[in-house]
Structure 1
Amino acid sequence: MERARPPFCPSASLTYRSPAPPRRAVRVSARPARPGLVRDGGPGRIPADILHGVTVPDPYRWLEEADTPATRDWLAERASEFDAAVADWPLRPHLAREIRELVATDLWTPPVRRGGAVFATRRAAGAEHPRLVRVEDGREHVVFDPAAVDPSGATTLDSWEPSPDGALVAVQTSRGGTERGELQVLSARTGRPVEEPISGVRYSHVAWLPSTSAPAFYYVRRDDGDGRRGVWLHQVAAREARPDLLVHPCQAPRTVPGIRLRHGRWLLVSESHGTGHRNDLWIADLAESEVSSPRLRPVHVGADVESAADVGPDGTLYLRTTLGAPRRRVCAADPARPGPEHWREVVAEESDATLDGFAVVHADGAAVELLVARTRLGVSELSAHDPSGARPPRPIPLPGDGMVAHLDAGDDGTAHFGYADVATQQIVLTYRPGERPRRWPGGGPPAAASPVRRRTQWCRSADGTRLPVTVFSLNGFTAPAPTILHAYGGFGRPRQFGFSATVLAWLRAGGRYAVAHVRGGGDAGREWHLLGSRRGKPRAVEDLLAAADALVAAGMCRREGLCLSGGSAGGLLVLAAATSRPDVCAAVIASAPLADMVRFERLGLGAMWTAEFGTVADPGDFAALLSYSPYHRALAGRDRAYPAVLLTGFHGDTRTDAAHPRKMCAALLASSDGTRPVLLRYERGVGHGPRAVTRAIDLAADAHAFAAAYTGLSPTR
């Protein structure tokens, strides 16, 4: 239901609490004002933005500067407060031991076969990072080990792709959590680099060309910083130094390019607009054009559609698409006529499950099956479909109610995928048409029956929308128990129930864990996403509040035993809920959150996210952003009885930027009545993405020991 104005809209005049004397309180006024920035002109002046006639004070803007003496001193104070608090959390040692034991198994990714060898990553039990290995003739050879390159543990292996003959591997690494790093080509046999690295890339897709005499690949640059965004052609170790060639510049600002090369012939190029609302898609046949200037035919450009593509060995183009199907379907087309008017449906949309991915399983030059993965309320389903539609789909059995990931098909008629559930760390399964999936040798221990019980609790949001909440427990649901309620609600991403050592340790200690499938996520398809994005983002906050109330009303937990938890966009959600209704729960964990929604476009990757959140340049978007922005809601409060709050921030975070948790912590400290703590756990040398195992365990144990301390989960429970 569309509202006349966004919920939680502040009144025309709000008093913002100043950070400390001698600064004075500043009022937000609806009187017209000259656009621009009211800069700090001396003592007593608070920085502010004037937007659409509204003055928006920003007393903690100085905390956007991460390495000034003032910020470092302030962070040192927060570190002392956190260290003193964590020493009093009785479950901290127990949770750390449990989590470490649960992750102490070998963890493989699905294999990739190239030139007679198999490539995969394996994180051995007790290791800090996964390492890239080549398995040949039954023997395992290390190609790249981040821990050997950097014993400090700060370097991560972000992506990798072997060449068609298996002689070379392109690996991307980054350091300190920045996710901005180097793309380097290594010998698959020696692990040594064969040329100088390509710098300034971020999770680049790599598509190797089939030639072995002159190895080359396409790659992408996604960052705006150097003006080189697009698809590039790179010649490996060329005798004559040649600059990389731009073969497809990004066609629109703030798009994210992607590439894929299938069967050495079909080049697929995509550009995602913002965060998954839609993308443009092209295809080129390299058999009829030069690799240096591929003739890209548009599949769809400028349409309100999101599609992912693959090409079968017979040259059929397959598309997973939202065109005419908010929960996605699979269509087929001729690459010579790839436009939507020529598509035919191969796999229909389902009304209550979202199609996540597909793989073309083929043999002897023909597509045999389409293997399709769907998610239904967080649980994956797998089915095999006849590409011609002559036979009905066939369900593929999975080990349990869990999550399918990394679904891909090889040239030998097999498909591989990862499977995990709440109690099972990822295992790798192999599938052949007509057979049951079997465990890939070395792909992890066999899956055991999960002891975790799952229940769906339904509730109604403020506008009457019915939404599900999934609750996990080891001890049944007959009596209230301390509960963590998690939500994300962003970028169209569905919640999927894979393995989490942290969640399992919490359940083993006697707690419950719940997931609210709020709007803004992809749990019910694209429309569910769009209803909770941009000016609809306050709906996601209302959904989370409704989920919290429903758990209490159903007797799953007591209000004083409830902790809201979310990271990144989910951190924004839980902070917005807690600052709008401080009585909703006893504690809040917000990990690497967004918080200042007036200036989010200036911080981290925020400028890329206007399709998700809107932009302050638009008056309607600005009103919605200000209405739920946790930072500004905290500034508007005074002596409020907030829940206990734990914020985490990572100094190397180039996505949400650690300025968000820094500023949010300062605002909460100033506006809280002091009855419950406001804590900031701040780390250097890490960022938004992967980290060394020990650091991940420490973070998880700290966060959930905090939740235990403020929800009453006892060590003897």
Structure 2
Amino acid sequence: MVRNRAPGASSPSPDVDTLHGRPVPDPYRWLETADSPETLRWLRERSLEYEFEASGWPLRDRLASLIRELVATDLWTPPVHRPGAVFATLRSAGAEHPCLVVFDTTEGDGPLRPEDARTVYDPCVEDPTGRTTLDAWEPDPTGTLVALQTSSNGVERGGLRVVRVSDGSPVGPEVPGVRYSHVAWVPGDEPFFYYVRRDGARGVRGVWGRRVGDGSETLVHACSGAGTVPGVRVLGGRTLLISESHGTGHRTDLWTADLSEDPPESPRTRPFQVGHEAETEVRRGPDGLLYLRTTLGAARRRICAARPDAPGPEHWREIVPEDAGATLDAFCPQPTPDGGTALFVARTRLGISEAAVHDASTGRRLYRVELPGEGMVSTPVEAPDGTVHLGYADVASQQRVLSLPPGERTPLPWPPGGLAAPARPRVERSVLWSRSPDGTRVPVTVFGLSGRSGPGPTLLHAYGGFGRPRQFGFSATVLAWLLHGGRYAVAHVRGGGDGGRHWHLEGSGRNKPKAVRDLVAAADSLVEGGWCARDQLCLSGGSAGGLLVLAAATARPDLCAAVIASAPLADMVRFERMGLGRLWTREFGSVSDPDDFAALMSYSPYHRALESALRAPGRPHPEILLTGFAGDTRTDAAHPRKMCAALLAAAPREGGRPPALLRYEHDVGHGPRSVGRAVGLAADAHAFAAHRTGLVGR
């Protein structure tokens, strides 16, 4: 390897690695050092370039104003019940962040009223700059304590603290360096909870137990491998469930322990599902059985039942079978008035949720739940009386919480006294089918305002990673785009979960190039079908989706007019060294394997740009907007920095306009941010798309 020789602010460096006998140049490796003088100077140049270009986008201010108006509603999460208390988060209309609130309840109280909610924690009170977020929370079994996880500046790695619900005062010392940990409380006289360390920076990765009062800790379960992600739950107050995920969406190993037999610091665990290539989620029913949503023997998932003391899938009993055309995304056991158990089940069919209630003993569907429209169901949770609370949203309606009492078919708004959802425009949905080069039919969903006809500016979104199915919830940005006369399309490419586990595996690892080809085929189908012209098409994706749209654009520079790649992966040779890439080798492969390396190099956007895929004189190529966030601990902002540099060198400037722009932010990361900053990012990205595709608004 030739080492970096301290390049200038915009100069390439002579870094070259030899991998599996192949030289791999990396001229912009110096941009991996985020705070070097050279990188900071280069970023200032990109910022000036960006602001100059963005100032000429006609819809920038109009989109920002409309998006801000569309999100200015109260936004609740489904409630969590404890004795004498009901918890939820609420982002009030006009607020920058959601707060944790509680309703103090007593037997005989009437319906909850929004005005009676009391704030337990408000991140903007702790940090008026808006840079602190509430990442996760979990109340203890008594409802008197709550564990809070917060982080600042977008790093998604902050502190875990326990506070009193009565006044928000801290109890015991804080746990530092925690990233989106599960917190599982153990019932008892002395408060005790489990949590997980995921990165090992401050201790062994695995599940830890902690006494609240003195902060004493015990390692309960150490991770079995460097690439696994631990998890922990306490089910029904007595069953400890420990999990390890081997690559996101690929495999789950599970262990259980009976907390009534041993002290919580030293439970005796037994394997429940270990060594099977399946992803499984577990919940405990009111009948004491464990109910499992699993891909074991069912690519689109099924629900099985098992006794907590009966380890191994051979003891499972299928309750709700797999549906060949829809993915089972969520479920929730609930007691019935006659003392039995029912299962609320939500499936997704090409992005649209369906819900039903099944008998837990026979699996028979009792009735279909009447949802408000064609949208997305999320996070169903059960209340002590058997009511299921769930989130619901669709393309034209902001998320709201619905309440489904036992035996009811039509859910009602929660809280009951909340404001009714405002009227939204009529949005039409169409599905077309493209054909990938290997003959696979890939669905594409297209949204537009009712009555819209003829070709027009179109956003084509794709994700295609980690087995996640695309669900059509609410996006103020998408709705603003539709209201201005554009179309919004989604390619359900392989690598996602839209076709179940097989669909995921067909687009992951060495098969990832298939996902890229699926997206190219989807774009061609939109043009050939008359939905848009080539110069009216903009590809859009974030994170793994950002990788996908960049790979498609560098493979086919004539594919579209523009690309939005938000916080993307781009350098697939060094992705394992950046952010959380070391945990994603099951999804993308590893450069240490020669066959994986060959597949990664075949589509790595950074390396395709370095190979001058865009530099043919007179050849059409898209203009590309990259976004990067300095606090990004997932994909790492080095990816968009390096990709931007490679694109600036790979494509000519037309009319003095750069072929790539970088919108770079400090003090934020990959995850949640304040509403104001989210609105600014969304408006800028879509004003860019509007300018490049000819969307002028109405």
TM surpasses 0.5:
yes
Q: Which amino acid aligns with 2:579?
A: G
Q: Which residue of 2 aligns with 1:5?
A: none
Contact 2:197 2:207 (C-alpha < 8 Å) held by counterparts: yes
How far 1:420 moved relative to its partner?
0.2
1:434 and 1:265 mapped to 2: Cα distance? Answer: 29
1:181-196 pair list within 5 angstroms: 181-196=158-173
SS in structure 1 opposite 2:371?
Answer: coil
1:443-454 pair list within 5 angstroms: 445-446=420-421, 451-454=426-429
1:268 and 1:581 mapped to 2: Cα distance? Answer: 47
Q: Which residue of 2 aligns with 1:25?
A: none
Q: Which amino acid aligns with 2:673?
A: R
1:564-579 pair list within 5 angstroms: 564-579=539-554
Range moving further from structure 2, 345-354 or 401-410: 401-410
1:714 corresponds to 2:691: no
1:270 and 1:233 mapped to 2: Cα distance? Answer: 15
2:382 and 2:645 mapped to 1: Cα distance? Answer: 50
Unaligned runs of 5+ in 1: 1-36
1:508 and 1:594 mapped to 2: Cα distance? Answer: 31
Count of residue pairs the alignment pairs up: 676
Q: Which residue of 2 aligns with 1:650?
A: 629
Q: Which residue of 2 aligns with 1:596?
A: 571
How far 1:444 moved relative to its partner?
5.5
Contact 1:519 1:531 (C-alpha < 8 Å) held by counterparts: yes
- Deviation string 1:443-488 (CA, Å, 9 cap, x unpaired) is 5634757611100011101111001000000044530010000000
Q: Which residue of 2 aligns with 1:219?
A: 195
SS in structure 1 opposite 2:31?
Answer: helix
- Deviation string 1:130-166 (CA, Å, 9 cap, x unpaired) is 0001112452211000000000000000000011111
1:308 corresponds to 2:285: no
Contact 1:520 1:537 (C-alpha < 8 Å) held by counterparts: yes
- Deviation string 1:296-348 (CA, Å, 9 cap, x unpaired) is 22111111111111112322111111111000000011222131111111000
How far 1:381 moved relative to its partner?
0.7
Contact 1:107 1:443 (C-alpha < 8 Å) held by counterparts: no
Contact 1:313 1:365 (C-alpha < 8 Å) held by counterparts: no
1:439 corresponds to 2:428: no
* Percent of residue pairs identical: 63
- Deviation string 1:405-457 (CA, Å, 9 cap, x unpaired) is 11111222111100000011111011122112111125563475761110001
Which of 331, 346, 351 pairs up with 1:378? 351
1:384-463 pair list within 5 angstroms: 384-389=357-362, 391-435=364-408, 436-441=410-415, 442=417, 445-446=420-421, 451-463=426-438
1:390 and 1:662 mapped to 2: Cα distance? Answer: 52
Contact 1:477 1:556 (C-alpha < 8 Å) held by counterparts: no
2:6 and 2:665 mapped to 1: Cα distance? Answer: 32
How far 1:224 moved relative to its partner?
3.1
1:125 corresponds to 2:93: yes
Q: Which amino acid aligns with 1:660?
A: H
Q: Which residue of 1 aligns with 2:303?
A: 330
Residues 444/518 of structure 1: CA separation in 2 closer, same or farther (3 Å cut):
farther
Q: Which residue of 1 aligns with 2:212?
A: 236
- Deviation string 1:268-290 (CA, Å, 9 cap, x unpaired) is 11100011111101121111222
1:93-132 pair list within 5 angstroms: 93-132=61-100
SS in structure 2 opposite 1:578?
Answer: helix
Which of 610, 617, 623 pairs up with 2:585? 610
Q: Which residue of 2 aligns with 1:681?
A: 663
How far 1:367 moved relative to its partner?
4.5
- Deviation string 1:30-57 (CA, Å, 9 cap, x unpaired) is xxxxxxx322368896101110001100
Contact 2:286 2:341 (C-alpha < 8 Å) held by counterparts: no
Q: Which residue of 1 aligns with 2:236?
A: 263
Residues 407/45 of structure 1: CA separation in 2 closer, same or farther (3 Å cut):
closer
Q: Which residue of 2 aligns with 1:153?
A: 130
Q: Which residue of 1 aligns with 2:640?
A: 661
2:229 and 2:520 mapped to 1: Cα distance? Answer: 33
Q: Which amino acid aligns with 2:522?
A: A
Q: Which residue of 2 aligns with 1:38?
A: 2
Range moving further from structure 2, 95-104 or 434-443: 434-443
- Deviation string 1:517-552 (CA, Å, 9 cap, x unpaired) is 000000110000000000000001000000000000
- Deviation string 1:92-111 (CA, Å, 9 cap, x unpaired) is 11101100000000000001
Range moving further from structure 2, 623-632 or 222-231: 222-231
Q: Which amino acid aligns with 2:642?
A: K
1:143 corresponds to 2:111: no
Contact 1:48 1:57 (C-alpha < 8 Å) held by counterparts: yes
1:528 and 1:668 mapped to 2: Cα distance? Answer: 31
How far 1:391 moved relative to its partner?
4.2
1:76 corresponds to 2:76: no
How far 1:228 moved relative to its partner?
2.0
How far 1:185 moved relative to its partner?
0.5
1:313 and 1:400 mapped to 2: Cα distance? Answer: 30
Contact 1:475 1:510 (C-alpha < 8 Å) held by counterparts: no
SS in structure 2 opposite 1:38?
Answer: coil
1:354 corresponds to 2:312: no
Contact 2:4 2:30 (C-alpha < 8 Å) held by counterparts: no
TM-score w.r.t. structure 1 length?
0.92
Range moving further from structure 2, 673-682 or 545-554: 673-682
TM-score w.r.t. structure 2 length?
0.95
Residues 443/616 of structure 1: CA separation in 2 closer, same or farther (3 Å cut):
farther
Contact 1:420 1:426 (C-alpha < 8 Å) held by counterparts: yes
Residues 586/152 of structure 1: CA separation in 2 closer, same or farther (3 Å cut):
same
SS in structure 1 opposite 2:210?
Answer: strand
Q: Which residue of 2 aligns with 1:47?
A: 15
SS in structure 1 opposite 2:514?
Answer: helix
- Deviation string 1:340-360 (CA, Å, 9 cap, x unpaired) is 111111000000000011101
How far 1:250 moved relative to its partner?
1.1
2:632 and 2:339 mapped to 1: Cα distance? Answer: 45
Unaligned runs of 5+ in 2: 106-111
Q: Which residue of 2 aligns with 1:582?
A: 557
Residues 406/45 of structure 1: CA separation in 2 closer, same or farther (3 Å cut):
closer
1:335 and 1:450 mapped to 2: Cα distance? Answer: 49
Contact 2:16 2:25 (C-alpha < 8 Å) held by counterparts: yes
2:270 and 2:123 mapped to 1: Cα distance? Answer: 40
Residues 202/42 of structure 1: CA separation in 2 closer, same or farther (3 Å cut):
closer
Q: Which residue of 1 aligns with 2:108?
A: none
Range moving further from structure 2, 547-556 or 256-265: 256-265
Contact 1:427 1:443 (C-alpha < 8 Å) held by counterparts: no
- Deviation string 1:491-528 (CA, Å, 9 cap, x unpaired) is 00011000000000000000000000000000110000
- Deviation string 1:242-272 (CA, Å, 9 cap, x unpaired) is 5310111112222111111122111111100
Q: Which residue of 1 aligns with 2:531?
A: 556
Which of 317, 321, 328 pairs up with 1:344? 317
Contact 1:426 1:444 (C-alpha < 8 Å) held by counterparts: no
Contact 1:597 1:629 (C-alpha < 8 Å) held by counterparts: yes
Q: Which residue of 1 aligns with 2:686?
A: 704
SS in structure 2 opposite 1:582?
Answer: coil
SS in structure 2 opposite 1:133?
Answer: strand
1:533 and 1:348 mapped to 2: Cα distance? Answer: 26
1:470 corresponds to 2:445: yes
Residues 368/314 of structure 1: CA separation in 2 closer, same or farther (3 Å cut):
closer
2:192 and 2:419 mapped to 1: Cα distance? Answer: 34
2:33 and 2:681 mapped to 1: Cα distance? Answer: 24
Q: Which amino acid aligns with 1:85?
A: E
Range moving further from structure 2, 518-527 or 668-677: 668-677
Contact 1:492 1:520 (C-alpha < 8 Å) held by counterparts: yes
Let me know the Cα RMSD of the aligned residues: 1.5
Contact 1:256 1:271 (C-alpha < 8 Å) held by counterparts: yes
Contact 2:236 2:288 (C-alpha < 8 Å) held by counterparts: no
1:372 and 1:448 mapped to 2: Cα distance? Answer: 28
Contact 1:314 1:365 (C-alpha < 8 Å) held by counterparts: no
SS in structure 2 opposite 1:604?
Answer: coil
